[in-house]
Amino acid sequence: MTISAHPLVVRARELADGLLSPAAERVDQEGVPVSHIEAIRRSGLLGLNAPVAYGGSAAPAAVVRETAEILAGACCSTWFVQTQHHTPVLTLAKAELPVRDRLLGPLAKGGLLSGVAYAHLRSYPLVPVRVRREGDGWRFDGTVPWYTGWGLNDVILLAGVTEDDEALFAFVEAREQPGLRPSEPMRLAALTASRTVSLDLDGLRVPEDAVALRTPYEDWAATDRPKTLNANPAVFGITEAALALVDDEYAAPLRARTGEVRRRAYALADHPVPREHAQERLALRAEAFTLMRTATTAAVVSGGGRAMSVTGRAQRLAREALFLLVQGQTAVSRTAHLERLAERPR
């Protein structure tokens, strides 16, 4: 079966063309509606990474990437809310702990939608969220700087660092409760629609049976680091959406270059050793960003003054592109990107 004929890719395309894309400028201004989330829940896309035994599809990586491109190109805010869900699913799939049997089925089938709060682990040895033993469970203290999907998702996969330098991930309900207080939704240059907040944690109690992962920090970081080296499929999705607004005469060469970068980036993403070819991965990641910025700029230029309207598609894509430049950024990928930007133009 070709990738484009895979049932999840077909469903993503239907969702994108029938619902997400036509509403994207309104959603950008008003927020991701619950009805969009309901459509995502029904689509089967929340289980794309989940084991078949739990009701998921265990789809190949190429299908996962293609659906991400399609959704991000149609409505980046909706894509971003739902993409958080896939890390909790993958974490549970590997967890041989009681929480797996309680949550993996509902997460795989779309009965529950999860957000994540773990990017702050990457600022180690700074520890924005500290976890300590308390009785037969754990307590969380500190600040989660970014949490997307507040009010839309049901559970949070929340991470912190223990006093023994372990990364500890646990599920908590995504609602205000003793020890967990959200900020007001952030007003952002892009993706305000994603209902992103910060979370103030002040003695949040979490029972042992909610723990999904507890491992030495360095072990977690060793598996996390390679993930942030690769180009994000969403970048190609935004690039394609922007090029659709540009006359073919100008879009065609950019599309060809994007296709080549995508092919090389995905070949490396499929390489069996994720930490090999780090420099090449980072170079392709930066090249994908360059093409995305060029494509969104071309879309704005094509649209002229009308492109400046807040209801215009080109400016929305250009702002979403700005967001993707920093999403998931680490110290290493930031340096690599800045070095690339500082190169003399060829």
**Residues found near ligand FAD in the complex (CB under 6 A):** 84, 115-119, 122-123, 126, 146-148, 188, 191, 196, 326-331, 334
Smallest distance from ligand FAD to CB 116, Å: 5
Minimum CB–partner distance for residue 9 and ligand FAD (Å): 25
- Given a contact cutoff of 8 angstroms between Cβ atoms, the answer to whether 191 and 83 are in contact is no
Name the residue nearer to ligand FAD (CB basis): 57 or 198.
Answer: 198
Closest separation in Å from C-beta 322 to ligand FAD = 10
Least distance from ligand FAD to the Cβ atom of residue 260, Å: 27
Q: At its nearest, how many Å lie between ligand FAD and the CB of residue 1?
A: 33
- Token pair in block for residue 164: 């023994």
> For residues 84 and 42, what is the distance between their CA atoms, to the nearest angstrom?
17
Considering beta carbons, is residue 51 or 185 the nearer one to ligand FAD?
Answer: 185
Q: How far is CA 16 from CA 39, 67, 120, 132, in A?
A: 11, 10, 31, 43
Q: Which is nearer to ligand FAD, 190 or 251 (CB)?
A: 190
Q: What is the dihedral of CA 288, 293, 298, 303, to 10 degrees?
A: 130
> 296 with 314: CB under 8 angstroms?
yes
Residue 312 C-beta: closest distance to ligand FAD, Å? 21
Closer to ligand FAD by CB, 255 or 337: give it.
337
Which of residues 151 and 328 has its CB atom nearest to ligand FAD in the complex?
328
Asked if residue 166 lies in contact with residue 215, where contact means CB atoms within 8 angstroms, the answer is: yes
CB of 63 to ligand FAD, least distance (A): 23
Give least dist CB 234 to ligand FAD, A: 12
Neighbours of 190 (CB within 10 A): 20
**The two three-digit tokens of residue 236, written as one number:** 């190609």
Distance CA 116, CA 129 (A): 13
In this complex, which beta carbon is closest to ligand FAD, that of residue 225 or of residue 257? 225
Question: Which residue stretches of the chain are H helix?
Answer: 7-15, 21-30, 34-43, 61-74, 76-83, 86-94, 98-109, 217-224, 233-243, 248-269, 278-303, 313-326, 331-342
Shortest Cβ distance from residue 191 to ligand FAD (Å)? 5
Q: CB-wise, 302 or 329, nearer to ligand FAD?
A: 329
DSSP codes joined into one string, 183-248: -PPPP-SS-GGG-EEEEEEEEEEEEGGGEEEEEEHHHHHHHHGGGGTSPPHHHHHHHHHHHTTS-H
Taking the CB of residue 249, how many other CB atoms lie within 10 A of it?
A: 7
Question: Which CB atom, from 241 or from 336, has the smaller least distance to ligand FAD?
Answer: 336
- When the beta carbons of 14 and 141 are compared against ligand FAD, the nearer one is 141
Instruction: Find tokens 């970048």 and name the residue.
Output: 235
